[in-house]
Structure 1
Amino acid sequence: MKFTHDVIVIGGGAAGLTAAGGCALFGLDVALIEARKMGGECLNDGCVPSKALLAAAKRAAEAREPSRFGVTLEPPRVEWTGVHKHIHDAIAAIAPHDSEERFEEMGCEVFRDWAQVVGPQSVEVGWRTLTAPRIVIATGSKPAVPPIKGLEEVPYLTNENLFDLGELPDHLVIVGGGVIGMEMAQGFRRLGSEITVIEPGELMGRDDPDSVAVVRSVLEGEGVSFVSGRAERVEARDGVVRVQVGSEAVEGSHLLIATGRRANCTGFGLEEIGVEMGANGIKVDDRRRTSVKGIYAVGDCREGPRLTHVSGYEGSNVALEITLGVPTKVDWSALPWVTYTEPEVAHIGMTEKEARQKHGEKVTVVTETFHHNERSLAEASDKGHLKLVLKGKKVLGASIVGKNVGELLLPFAQSITGKSSTFALGSAIIAYPTRSEISKAAAFSAWEPTVFGPIPKKWAQFLARMRRKFA
């Protein structure tokens, strides 16, 4: 077969852009396909707009403490039009990094249309058929909408339309007490909305319960209400949304569904060519290879953790494997994540529960509170703690709750993996979005001339020619 490209990447979110850009920087001919907005969910209706909203909410919260540190502030006056503008200004500021123009400058051929995979090495886009020895699927995920009776007849919000609201909700009812639900509960409450969170299980269920308890206490103190139970039925009448939870009815002006994510992997022709699917995404091995030779799946579309920094990590791994022929297995031993409530909840590696399940009595836990941290005391922000999970002296994981604690994870990433060189730092998984990412960026910049130097590029292009010839 005569190939049009060396690699075809379907999806212009964090995973696809990292894979496509990496391959292009090694000099490969890359086709990058994205039918919707460049930047994917994270830029357009995920991490970026949510953190922008939380920043506005924090400003309002600070002003509600009229006198602190000897400084008196005026009570806040929230204008939703201004908050809305700030959110979309943040998106617009970051959009050029993910733009079609930037990736064309890198050397990608960008197609803004829907893709259909018609063979192990063939993709139809528009009226054209593209071919390549390697295909990378990076089609992301979408909100998981639970089967609640009446939901289809009721206007409801997800993260995909939440940030386009033309008005601040009077009373936002949130179904789901995970990361999105808790962040938006605090954010909208601080901006002035009444908030009720409905959750049948544990709040922020993958996090350390002691850390979650601190956050729940803070949110309750700010006026967020929690209802334990499953949303069974929804109806809307005269501008009021009514959610039935057991014998209790919760009423509000707006309804947000925040019950997780579903892989966006159907409708692309993958099952028709034999790509095996799992319960919630494409099945892949440790190298992100699917059941069809030459096809990879990275990011939210495959089974596994769904985080922006995971998508970038997998995209870079696959780019290295395709360009240099180096097998790159994923390593989740130092996987971080952060919930950006205030206080933040940050985690890396094993939770205490996971560690005890695996190592039993060999596990010890060391806890330090911020009550003895002098910087925290000086700033009157000593609420929270750090819990270190150990096997002997080896760090297995860390759970932290407190002010800006997402920035404290980096040294534990190095402790868990046992890697502390600049090269290791440049390839570490850093929680997104945190300021600690600048450390990784600087370390990577130190190695960039070597990684993308003449010899690696020549080797990558030689491998690409061999694939085209013998695939």
Structure 2
Amino acid sequence: MNQSHDLILIGGGVSGLVIASVAGQLGLDVVLIERREKLGGDCLHYGCVPSKTLIRSAAVAHQMRRADQYGLQAMTPKVDLGRVMDRVRASINTLGEHDDPERFRNYGVCVRFGMARFIDPHTVEVDGERIRGRRLVIATGSRPAMPPIPGLADIDYWTNETVFDQRQLPARLAVLGGGPVGVELAQAFARLGSRVTVLQRPSSLLPREDPEIARELARQLSEEGLSVATGSAVESIISGEGEILLQGRNAEGGFQVPADAVLVATGRRPQIDDLGLEAAGVAVENGLIRVDRRMRTSQRHIYACGDCCGPYPFTHVAEYQAGIIIANAVFRLPKRADYRVVPRVTYTAPELAHVGLTETQAQALGMAIEVARFPFRDVDRAVCDGDTAGSAKLVIHKGRLVGATLLGSQAGELIHELVLAMQARLKISQISAAIHAYPTRAQVHRRAVNTLYAPRLFSPRTRRLAGWIQRILP
């Protein structure tokens, strides 16, 4: 009890593990506390890793059905959800080797499993034992937020924490929520063979995204056979006689949706309720731990990162924030977080990737902008791939990129050229001037920018100038 550790980390997800790895290998006295009996956090066990593995299996099933478009014999796959989920579990286990507690113990980190609760600003209690630290980090993540729908608690609904344990493919799946988690899993189950209905209270899917691009994605999902019902509020759920009945209202009046399973994907909430933050003197605002740009809470020796403090619920942001904490807590360098350029990706097919401002956001800020667009149907590699859905949309202010949205195959990979351009404050002319390998999908960036130059290049004035040069100069 009298010993004061250099660093106590509460939470064994990506940010906690990054900090533990660096601090432990530097020789600090580190204690890592995780409430579950395994390290890795939601991303490894209930989020990024299992969902992308499931999405890939679903994509293969989809390709089998449409193989005739590639000159091959199409076939209907026999889908065994249990085998698909075995593959999901194998991916988790493979990547989970990096998060083996023994690895961190070999770095000198004391790994503890149990619930941590603050006793005072420097002390937490775990299983009745009090542990004191000079500096502490809260990285407890988030959990699914449950909507207050009468009857929901009476059914065995799914969340991202239980969906990957399922072994039987439901004939009819209702998905509550049209955010990234909802639409990704909805499309995956539809491609595996379920009849899927997405019920979204707001008037559009993915309401944070560019409305024009979000509408195009909704159209693509509908063409695949998903039933997308936006502006639809579920008011009650009734179970019985072998099915679940969701009842609600939309602009047309009342509706009923029968289902065999219900997936709830209506958002997340920070996992901070049981930490005893009041005893630590850590302030909470709008349900999130309040931090400054150095990731310090209202108690400057206590830091927070990831979903428990925001502002973005992404694994890559949590990892970035961990680096900010390492600089401040370990090396005492006053490094500050900069969220000017934060990409995000929704892993549907086609993928939707975004960075910076949308057209609407830029206009709301009063910025004089140009918008460049280019469809993938005019990109040669997309034609060769037989996958031409979507487009690039670039938002430009004073010759520099301030935002971009890509809808298309591999958009999550392609967005990073634009992330770097924004981070380095490059002019769009530098994107146009860069040699892009042919044939690649990345040519979409250069060609989108060139749509702004073409009217100037082929204007009457430029034509006259070209003619004059030919006549006058040898």
What's the TM-score, normalizing by structure 2?
A: 0.86
The unaligned stretches of length 5 or more in structure 2 are 427-441, 443-474
Which residue does the alignment assign to 2:125? 124
Q: Is the 8 A contact 1:53 1:87 kept in 2?
A: yes
Which residue does the alignment assign to 1:30? 30
Which residue does the alignment assign to 2:372? 366
How far apart, CA to CA, are the structure 2 residues paired with 1:269 and 1:411? 43
Structure 1 residue 321, shift from structure 2 partner: 1.2
Q: Is the 8 A contact 2:400 2:425 kept in 1?
A: no
Does 2:19 match 1:19?
Answer: yes
Whichever residue aligns with residue 159 of structure 2, its letter is T
Which residue does the alignment assign to 1:395? 401
2:243 to 234, 240, 248: 240
Which residue does the alignment assign to 2:6? 6
How far apart, CA to CA, are the structure 1 residues paired with 2:386 and 2:155? 44
Structure 1 residue 20, shift from structure 2 partner: 1.7
How far apart, CA to CA, are the structure 1 residues paired with 2:150 and 2:314? 30
How far apart, CA to CA, are the structure 2 residues paired with 1:104 and 1:290? 28
Does 2:353 match 1:350?
Answer: no
Which residue does the alignment assign to 2:421? 415
Which residue does the alignment assign to 1:442? none
Query: Aligned residues, how many?
Result: 420
The unaligned stretches of length 5 or more in structure 1 are 421-435, 437-471
Higher Rg: 2
How far apart, CA to CA, are the structure 2 residues paired with 1:303 and 1:87? 28
Which residue does the alignment assign to 1:329? 336
**DSSP 3-state at the match of 1:244:** strand
Which residue does the alignment assign to 2:410? 404
Between 1:95-104 and 1:176-185, the stretch displaced more is 95-104
Which residue does the alignment assign to 2:139? 138
Which residue does the alignment assign to 2:215? 213
How far apart, CA to CA, are the structure 1 residues paired with 2:100 and 2:358? 37
Alignment RMSD? 1.6
What's the TM-score, normalizing by structure 1?
A: 0.86
How far apart, CA to CA, are the structure 1 residues paired with 2:3 and 2:337? 29
Whichever residue aligns with residue 335 of structure 1, its letter is V
Which residue does the alignment assign to 1:457? none
Q: Mapping of 1:34-433 within 5 angstroms?
A: 34-36=34-36, 37-201=38-202, 202-228=204-230, 229-246=232-249, 247-360=254-367, 362-418=368-424
Q: Is the 8 A contact 1:6 1:134 kept in 2?
A: yes
How far apart, CA to CA, are the structure 2 residues paired with 1:195 and 1:311? 32
Structure 1 residue 303, shift from structure 2 partner: 3.7
Residue by residue over 1:309-331, the C-alpha shift from the partner in whole angstroms, topping out at 9 and shown as x without a partner, is 11111112101211111122211
How far apart, CA to CA, are the structure 1 residues paired with 2:76 and 2:124? 57
How far apart, CA to CA, are the structure 1 residues paired with 2:256 and 2:278? 42
Structure 1 residue 419, shift from structure 2 partner: 7.2
Q: Is the 8 A contact 1:264 1:281 kept in 2?
A: no
Q: Is the 8 A contact 1:15 1:311 kept in 2?
A: yes
Q: Is the 8 A contact 2:4 2:134 kept in 1?
A: no
Q: Is the 8 A contact 1:26 1:323 kept in 2?
A: no
How has the CA–CA distance of structure 1 residues 409 and 106 changed in structure 2, closer, same or farther, with 3 Å as cutoff?
Answer: farther
Whichever residue aligns with residue 276 of structure 2, its letter is G
Q: Is the 8 A contact 1:44 1:91 kept in 2?
A: yes
**DSSP 3-state at the match of 1:24:** helix
**DSSP 3-state at the match of 1:214:** helix
How far apart, CA to CA, are the structure 1 residues paired with 2:292 and 2:364? 24
How far apart, CA to CA, are the structure 2 residues paired with 1:68 and 1:250? 33
How far apart, CA to CA, are the structure 1 residues paired with 2:279 and 2:170? 44
How far apart, CA to CA, are the structure 1 residues paired with 2:59 and 2:313? 26
Structure 1 residue 148, shift from structure 2 partner: 0.8
Q: Is the 8 A contact 1:33 1:110 kept in 2?
A: yes
Structure 1 residue 264, shift from structure 2 partner: 0.3
Residue by residue over 1:1-48, the C-alpha shift from the partner in whole angstroms, topping out at 9 and shown as x without a partner, is 954311100000112111222222322111100120311111111111
Residue by residue over 1:87-120, the C-alpha shift from the partner in whole angstroms, topping out at 9 and shown as x without a partner, is 1111111101122112112221101111111111
Whichever residue aligns with residue 218 of structure 2, its letter is R
How far apart, CA to CA, are the structure 2 residues paired with 1:19 and 1:56? 33
How far apart, CA to CA, are the structure 2 residues paired with 1:2 and 1:419? 51
